[in-house]
């Protein structure tokens, strides 16, 4: 029973490039949360998705960031035209019942923008 899978584990991009981060939730989980951890800072909520729907994106920057969770396949966090300030660890977590159960975290993707 695989846990939450994130890939890649490490991603290096130059300023202006696009970054795509993938998250496959635990089997049977249909709720996915994305969180960002900036260097030396705590985790911050970005977006909450269910299959094919964005439920809450109040933590997402208004520009350059988007997320999706298609009917088939992993959830994708996409960052366009990356800047150095996007360098961070991005974690996704999944659960089978929003707000009521433990969230299971992936190992994270560490994005470095050169």
Partner 1 sequence: KNEVEQSPQNLTAQEGEFITINCSYSVGISALHWLQQHPGGGIVSLFMLSSGKKKHGRLIATINIQEKHSSLHITASHPRDSAVYICAVPGGGSQGNLIFGKGTKLSVKP
The residue within the footprint of partner 1, chosen from 15, 44, 51, 78 (CB under 8 A), is 44
Q: Is 39 in the site for partner 1 (CB under 8 A)?
A: no
Site for partner 1 in 72-91 (CB under 8 A): 89, 91
Q: Which two tokens stand for residue 55?
A: 């439920």
CB 92 within 8 A of CB 4: yes
The residue within the footprint of partner 1, chosen from 53, 80, 81, 101 (CB under 8 A), is 101
Instruction: Return left, alpha or beta for 7; rule: phi > 0 is left, psi -120 to 50 is alpha, else beta.
Output: beta
The residue among 72, 62, 69, 60 whose CA lies nearest residue 94 is 69
The contact set with partner 1 (CB under 8 A) reads 31, 33, 35, 41-45, 48, 55-56, 59, 89, 91, 93, 95, 98-105, 107-108, 110
């Amino acid at each position: 029973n695989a846990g939450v899978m994130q890939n890649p584990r490490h991603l290096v991009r130059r300023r202006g490039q696009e970054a795509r981060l993938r998250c496959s939730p635990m089997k049977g989980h249909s709720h996915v949360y994305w969180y960002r951890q900036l260097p030396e800072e705590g985790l911050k909520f970005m977006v909450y998705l269910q299959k094919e729907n964005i439920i809450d994106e109040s933590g997402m920057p208004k520009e350059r960031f988007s997320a999706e969770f298609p009917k088939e396949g992993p959830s994708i966090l996409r960052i366009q035209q990356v800047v150095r300030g996007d360098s961070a660890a991005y974690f996704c977590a999944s659960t089978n019942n929003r707000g009521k159960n433990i969230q299971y975290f992936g190992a994270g993707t560490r994005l470095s923008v050169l």
